[in-house]
Amino acid sequence: MIYRETGQFKAHYQDDQALFPIDQDRYVIFGVLFVTFALVPYLLNEYWLNAILLPFLIYSLAALGLNILTGYCGQLSLGTGGFMAVGAFSVYKLMVAFPELGFIPLVLLSGLITAAVGTLFGLPSLRIKGFYLAVATLAAQFFLIWLFNKVGWFFNYSASGMINAPPMTIFGVIVTGPEANGVAKYYLVAGIVAVFALAAKNIARGRIGRNWMAIRDMDIAAELIGVRPLVAKLSAFAVSSFYVGMAGALYFAVWLGSAEPTEAFDINQSFLVLFMIIIGGLGSVLGSFLGAAFLVIMPILLKNIMVDGFGTDSALAAHIEIIVVGVLIIGFLIVEPHGLARLWRIAKEKMRLWPFPY
């Protein structure tokens, strides 16, 4: 059908090694990027950008990070909320201390700080596996939140324990704080997510990614052929925490504007991001986005349809929404236990073979 690589001849080795070797995939990606950057900010209103697309993109980044660790390297982590808090508090301290550095470098720096913290908490993974590792990372979650709650230095001894993002500008446009407008915030976040999603796809298919997947599929066999578990696992923790830390920084500074650790970064965040990658598809960049869309955009849409469309009472709608989302999660996992990304892969394979069934 349309999705078939017949007639696309690769004349150079580079063509074959391209990130998207099939033309159709490339067109789709360009199309998505075009829609994301050129159409969406002008077609959708402030509410859509601020309340729906911003959290979707930020959670996608966090899911991408956790997917690197859990989906690609097979190390189960329940510390995502804690690591997001590290990113948020790092960017807060940096914004207050070094505002002259500019917002994007500060976000990257806070990602690096989170990477260091994540690597530290990844050390137990060398001895502990599976469920036990999940419990060990749970310790990270509780310890970090406790730390940000109790140690005044982190929240600059503010009376409420809350942190507030000071306004910062990029090229003269305000992107954080209450005065920032939706389009600017959207462009900033979408840009960062696009760059790092492509980077993740690139890392995952290269040598490091292969090492991670080898560790995931059979750690003993990987070790036997010379993959060093120490390097592979800790690098997965580092890269994953870098992504999660950036997501945490954007979550606090761009989306929420102010945050309080026990509320914004509690254990539910860890579970939410974990469910995103399970529903979206472990070990898939696309899956991280699909999972985030499923758990962020769909509940909001459902609620809006019920409240605005059918005039349902909003409290009742909230309950129905929880029920419907729960049923859909179970339904999707029964239809496709390997996540939404797998459905897409099967669909692609079917399109290639069409009109033949196999």
Q: Which residues bind other proteins (CB under 8 A)?
A: 346, 349-350, 353, 357-358
Q: Which of 68, 82, 301 is nearest to 202 (CA)?
A: 68
SS3 content of the chain, % helix, strand, coil (to 5): 75, 0, 20
Nearer to other proteins, 46 or 349 (CB): 349
Nearer to other proteins, 210 or 342 (CB): 342
Nearer to other proteins, 303 or 350 (CB): 350
The phi and psi torsions of 259 (rounded to 5 degrees) equal -150, 155
Nearer to other proteins, 42 or 358 (CB): 358
Other Cβ atoms within 10 Å of 38 Cβ, number:
10
Pair of tokens at residue 174: 């305000």
Which residues pair with residue 259 across a beta bridge? 163
Q: Which of 67, 84, 86 is nearest to 75 (CA)?
A: 67
Name the minimum Å distance from CB 74 to other proteins: 20
Nearer to other proteins, 129 or 303 (CB): 129
Name the minimum Å distance from CB 280 to other proteins: 19
Distance, CA of 282 to CA of 331 (rounded, Å): 17
Name the minimum Å distance from CB 338 to other proteins: 9
Name the minimum Å distance from CB 351 to other proteins: 11
Name the minimum Å distance from CB 3 to other proteins: 13
Contact, 41 vs 252, CB < 8 A?
no
Distance, CA of 243 to CA of 307 (rounded, Å): 35
Q: Which residues in the chain belong to E strands, given as ranges?
A: 163-164, 169-170, 173-174, 258-259
Nearer to other proteins, 316 or 353 (CB): 353
Contact, 302 vs 321, CB < 8 A?
yes
Name the minimum Å distance from CB 335 to other proteins: 12
